[in-house]
Amino acid sequence: MKKNWATALRLHWIAWLLLVGQSLPHQINAEPYSQAAAATPLRLGDLARSLSAADIASIELALPAGGKPWLIAGDFGQARSSQSVEAYLPPDPASAQLRRGSMIRLSRRITDPSNPGPWAIDNSVQQGGMQTRGGFVGHPPNHGPYAQVAIEGRTFQEFSDDQDQNRPFLVEGSISDAELIDIVAFIRPKPPLFGAGPIQAVVLGSNGSVTVWTRLRPLASEWWILQKLGETWKVVGTGVRQA
């Protein structure tokens, strides 16, 4: 049993290397960060970096009263008829290691590229999923509470590129600060677990398992089902999801 699982992990790791090796260089552009560093709010993703001052004003107008995001993240999708971004609102009082807040997703229709529609809050939820050996895997949440576990020696606002491990991630389910810190430490040691990208979401399952979604590139994610055995976590399922 252990041998079969180890073989499956090796095959999955090889597939991951092939997938990322073919596509990742075309999706990540670290160069704009010299300009984006001074931008308010901070930006992650090519779509977010392309937003004008009028776009930011439209986004802030669509948010609840007084909502001014400290970070906007968004990438261009396959469909050019619509766009969506993630607006991370200022966090609650934070410790030096972890902070939490709310992320609101906004979208707009693009019927005329020279005059796109207004931004509006998008609370749609993706349905469906699949049953795997490690448990049921649905879609990662796309709005709601977020958490951010800082990398030692860096502030919460420091990002080197779109794949930075310092990115905030969504949290679904009642997971304590200590548990989140423990999960993040397991997923992103040096180097991160099996080369995992930045965490996108941590979802608590009904059976006590935790599904961790990590970002491969803008339109692809990797999922990891974790089970707590004693004081340590164990990977009991993993796979890749294309958007």
pLDDT by residue for the chain (243 residues), tens only, comes to 444 444 444 445 444 444 434 333 333 343 344 344 445 899 999 999 999 999 999 999 999 987 899 999 999 988 888 999 999 999 998 788 999 999 999 999 998 888 888 999 998 876 555 555 555 566 678 889 999 998 989 999 999 999 999 999 999 999 999 999 999 999 887 666 666 789 999 999 878 899 999 998 888 889 899 999 988 899 998 888 876
Strands 71-73 and 210-217: unpaired
The end-to-end CA distance of the chain, in Å, is 31
Count of domains forming the chain = 1
pLDDT at 23: 38
| Structural domain for 175, as ranges | 2-242
CA–CA dist 207, 28 (Å, integer): 36
How far CA 169 is from CA of 16, 132, 163, 201, in Å, comes to: 21, 23, 12, 5
